[in-house]
Amino acid sequence: MKKMTALTTTALAASVALALTGCGGQAGSSTTTAAADFPKAGSTIEWIVPSAAGAGNDILARIVAPALEEALGAPVRVVNKEGGSQVIGLNYLANAKKDGQTMGYTNIPSIFGRYLDPSKKASFNRESFSPLGSFAFNDVVIGVNKSSPHGSIKDLFDAVKAAPGKVTVGTDSRGGDDHVNLRVLEKELGLDFNIVHYNSGADKIAALIAGEVDFALGGISSFYGPFKSGELKLLTVINTEKNQFAPEVPTLESQGFKVAPMTNNFAVSVPAGTPASIVAAMEKALKEAVATPAVVEKLKAAGTGPAWLSASEVSSKWKEREAAAKPIIDELLAQK
């Protein structure tokens, strides 16, 4: 088999700066008229989730959306547009009207494999979006089926070393963040996995529960429900500190495997070219929504760490992490 997240002067200034230096593209006019007219009376804002209902992205969007409605003073409807390893939903978002009525996930680093892989035929890249911010992060974990014979990460990795290229692992797409992270583990730890690609994180978890693959890697929010219900076991957290929502799960480093921490950010964007004043208003509303105590508690209950990054911070992180991931993705795509 192939190898194979009320408008102030400060906010407006930050948004204008983003339009000029952010994730590429122009953020558009920053007229006060655009802000005054947003959101338009009777309008509904769509939050595009490029994955299936019930997946980690979907769960978190439905937690935040009601508070975002309050902050914006307009309905926010979560819309699932799955397929094509998230490319269908991301294409829709990138090509939506630049009026602030369509927002969606552009998670880092999972979005990289969607547009850096030519075979996915994405009609977008980093410059197609203007970030609003990132409201949470996920530690990356490794999980197995409840009936797995592997009781520890050492057991699992020993099995991989005993049968190189035979132990199967599920990812959410070819060239995506799971795939990149697995390749890092292979290089750093001298491992050789049999990598199986699915169309989404939800499909990957379903396959793991069904016993189609030996293990899976990904953000903890996707694993958290099945883990708490006992359908899955978590063998490790790929970080230097334990995860606050699963403190009983040991870190990879504590089990003798030293690898740089792996995390995902739940970033939200609008199409590039959206007026800067609207971007700033939406950024402010999103930040307010995710700071709501009820939202914070629900995010934690979903195994997700609430943590705010501004639009400009997301822009910088996007550039930095894309630059680091691109060589690995290129290598993966070159493999036959």
Q: Which residue has the tokens 């998670």?
A: 107
CA 123/CA 94 separation, integer angstroms: 8
Angle at the Cα of 305 (from 268 to 280), degrees rounded to 5? 30
Chain Cα centroid distance, residue 15: 22
* Phi/psi-derived region of residue 230, left when phi > 0, alpha when psi is between -120 and 50, beta in every other case: left
Residues 6+ apart with CB under 8 A from 172: 85, 110, 178, 197, 198, 199, 200, 201, 203, 204, 218
Average pLDDT estimate for 259-266: 93
Every domain of the chain and the residues it spans: 9-137+264-334, 139-255
Whether 4 contacts 171, CB under 8 Å:
yes
Residue with the bigger pLDDT between 5 and 221: it is 221
pLDDT number for residue 9: 35
pLDDT number for residue 334: 84
Number of Cβ atoms within 10 Å of the Cβ of 230? 8
pLDDT tens by residue, 66-80: 999 999 999 999 999
Residues 6+ apart with CB under 8 A from 254: none
Confidence of residue 106 (pLDDT cuts 50, 70, 90): very high
Q: Which CATH architecture has domain 9-137+264-334?
A: 3-Layer(aba) Sandwich (3.40)
CA 169/CA 334 separation, integer angstroms: 20
Confidence of residue 254 (pLDDT cuts 50, 70, 90): very high
Q: Which residue has the tokens 């040991």?
A: 250
pLDDT tens by residue, 37-46: 899 999 999 9
Say what percent of the chain tops pLDDT 90.
74
Confidence of residue 95 (pLDDT cuts 50, 70, 90): very high
DSSP-assigned letters across all residues of 23-64: SSS------HHHHHT-SPTT--EEEEESS-TTSHHHHHHHHH
Structure tokens at 331: 């290598």
CA 152/CA 122 separation, integer angstroms: 39
Chain Cα centroid distance, residue 84: 16
CA 269/CA 183 separation, integer angstroms: 28
Domains 9-137+264-334 and 139-255 share a fold: yes
Least confidently predicted of 16-25, 55-64, 192-201: 16-25
Q: What are phi and psi of 59, to 5 degrees?
A: -60, -45
- pLDDT beyond 50 at 17: no
Mean residue pLDDT across the chain: 89
Confidence of residue 173 (pLDDT cuts 50, 70, 90): confident
Confidence of residue 265 (pLDDT cuts 50, 70, 90): very high
**Highest mean pLDDT: which range of 10-14, 234-238, 241-245:** 234-238
Confidence of residue 33 (pLDDT cuts 50, 70, 90): low
pLDDT number for residue 85: 83
Confidence of residue 333 (pLDDT cuts 50, 70, 90): confident
Whether 195 contacts 112, CB under 8 Å:
no
For 182-186, the CB contacts below 8 A with 24+ separation are: 182/217, 183/3, 183/328, 183/331, 183/332, 184/259, 184/260, 184/262, 184/328, 185/217, 185/259
Q: What are phi and psi of 329, to 5 degrees?
A: -65, -45
- pLDDT beyond 60 at 15: no
- Please tell me the CATH superfamily of domain 139-255, with its number: Periplasmic binding protein-like II (3.40.190.10)
Number of Cβ atoms within 10 Å of the Cβ of 162? 9
* Measured CA distances, 325 to 137, 150, 235, 321 (Å): 18, 30, 25, 6
* Phi/psi-derived region of residue 213, left when phi > 0, alpha when psi is between -120 and 50, beta in every other case: beta
CA 217/CA 140 separation, integer angstroms: 7
Bridging pattern class, strands 215-219 and 194-197: unpaired
pLDDT number for residue 28: 43
